[in-house]
Amino acid sequence: MNFTIVSSIYKLKLQYQKAKGKRIFDNYRLSNSSDVLLSEIVNPNFYETFGKIKVDVLFQKPYLYAHKNIPGIELTFENAFDSASSIAHDALENIKLFTLGLWLIKDNSVDIAEVDIYCYDGDFKYSINRHDMRVVTDASGIQEDVEFSDDEIEQAINYADKIKSFKGVDFNDTNYNEIHYNELSRFDRALGFIKHARAETLLPLKIAFYVQFLESIITASKSTELTHRIGERLARLLGKDFEERKEIYSQIKRAYAVRSSFVHGQQLDRSYRTKEVVLDISLKLDNYIRQVMIIMLTEHAEKLSLKDEEYENWFQEIVLS
């Protein structure tokens, strides 16, 4: 069975024209070349299957594509839907990992709307697309084009590979009722909160999800002094001097104040009632979380699998050292 995967990438600007396309992972390539579309993807069957509007979008934006073959499986009417659905599901998951890697480079709203799969085996052909209903926004809650250099794309690929090696649960699956929360690792819980935060446009709710990320990755305790605990640990982890640590600690207190009022259905306190103040908190938290993710993935990856008590002891050593 042969199949072609293609997905338009929204809000991404590439620094240079990619002729054949840059390899991202497996057989996936990132391109913005019309020549590749014409020579490898948009044949008469593809055009007839997906239509002019879909094809026009492909020519207007960067896109990810792949050609694959599954030997030993004959595409038939009976297995076409399940086979294509499985391919689409895996493709969406892999592409989402790449866009998360881009976020670790810098704040952005780069996203995909759907993945198109075109399967063929001899004269039998089948197509399907898988939508992602969530719309990613940046820390401001908006969508804007962001340019990435070749070096940044390469670094994003490396980050995506690291995330893939630790991630256990597919959070792009919509069947959340099948996931038992207590079976999730701390890293999977943290990724889930990032996903929800980035898909949110209401800034107090985005901030609430940011805080949930910090609570899942900075502590393993149910302590009632979480504001102090998270602020202290984050300041120690990220701050390079006293003034920077003081600023981080202060921002965490502000974030908790917004989160507390919001989740209890109350108006924000007087100090946080302007959009500019809330936006400033969101921007700073987004940056902190990105730094934490990079540090944990590149410097302390082995700590992510520690048991809760061991994890707490490790963070206490960081604070007291």
What pTM does this model have? 0.91
Q: What's the count of helices (H) and strands (E) in the chain, helices before strands?
A: 10, 8
Q: Which of 158, 174, 202 is the last residue of a domain?
A: 158
> In which domain, by residue range, is 189 found?
183-320
Q: Can you tell me which residue has the tokens 């960067």?
A: 62
Cβ(290)–Cβ(103) under 8 Å? yes
Residue 303 lies in a domain: yes
Cβ(74)–Cβ(1) under 8 Å? yes
Cβ(139)–Cβ(36) under 8 Å? no
Q: Are residues 26 and 120 in the same domain?
A: yes
Q: Are residues 124 and 88 in the same domain?
A: yes
Q: Are residues 131 and 266 in the same domain?
A: no
DSSP code of 133? -
Residue 171 lies in a domain: no
Backbone angles phi, psi at 68, to 5 degrees: -135, 160
Q: Can you tell me which residue has the tokens 């839907």?
A: 81
In this prediction, the residues of the chain whose per-residue pLDDT falls under 70 are 167-177
Q: Are residues 18 and 135 in the same domain?
A: yes
Q: Are residues 260 and 113 in the same domain?
A: no
Predicted local distance difference test score (pLDDT) of residue 69: 84
Q: Are residues 260 and 315 in the same domain?
A: yes
Q: Are residues 19 and 138 in the same domain?
A: yes
Residue 265 lies in a domain: yes
Cβ(61)–Cβ(9) under 8 Å? yes
Q: Are residues 112 and 253 in the same domain?
A: no
Q: Are residues 192 and 130 in the same domain?
A: no
Q: Which of 95, 125, 158 is the last residue of a domain?
A: 158
Dist CA 159 CA 101 (whole Å): 5
Cβ(252)–Cβ(239) under 8 Å? no
Predicted local distance difference test score (pLDDT) of residue 93: 86
Dist CA 110 CA 96 (whole Å): 10
For residue 53, what are the contacts with CB-CB under 8 A and spacing of at least 6? Answer: none
Predicted local distance difference test score (pLDDT) of residue 160: 93
When divided into structural domains, the chain yields a total of: 2
Dist CA 211 CA 277 (whole Å): 17
Dist CA 292 CA 115 (whole Å): 30
Q: Can you tell me which residue has the tokens 């020579």?
A: 39
Residue 88 structure tokens: 């689409």
